[in-house]
Amino acid sequence: MNEEFKKKPRIDEEAMMALMVDGVRPKGFTEAELNASGIRDEQEETKEEPMKQKRVKKAPPLTKEYDITEYEELFCKDVKSTARHGKSVYIDPKHHKILSRIVQVIADDKLTIYAYLYNLLEHHFNEFEKQITTSFNEKNKPLF
């Protein structure tokens, strides 16, 4: 009896972190996601029942592919405003490290992280303006 309490389920930390970042869809996980990401515990994996796998449709790419020159022209251009005139935003240390390396290497350290993020956000808002507006309007309920 004591051994049952001591036995801990295997937890996929990466899947848990992804859930914290992305959240869980209202309908839950598909069977393929449960199998691929290790969310099930060991007891469920040892069942001898045949697993029914649902077909998961792959979403078409949302954006076109850019070559290196296009990418640098889009995202490695300087901006007129400075970070001093903006607001503070905290980002994950892992992402900060990646952003710092991108700015150092691709932009030859001639661009700030602020300018790079500004360009990324401008592109994202231009690319997905319709989807963002639709989603916002669906979820934004008037007060009165």
Higher pLDDT, 84 or 114: 114
With b for 16 or more beta-carbon neighbours within 10 A and e for fewer, the 89-125 pattern comes to eeeeeeeeeebeebbeeebeeebbbbbbbbbeeeeee
Residues 79 and 115 both lie in one domain: yes
Interval 42-67: pLDDT, tens = 444 444 444 555 565 555 556 667 67
Instruction: Give the chain's domain count.
Output: 2
The conformation of residue 63, written as its DSSP 8-state character, comes to: S
Please check whether residues 73 and 27 belong to one and the same domain.
Answer: no
pLDDT at 101: 93
One domain, residues 88 and 45: no
Name, in order, each residue with C-beta under 8 angstroms of 55's C-beta and a sequence gap of 6 or more: none
In a domain, 2, yes or no: no
Average pLDDT, the chain: 72
Which pLDDT value is given to residue 49? 47
* Parent domain of 85: 68-139
63 is a domain residue? no
pTM for this prediction? 0.48
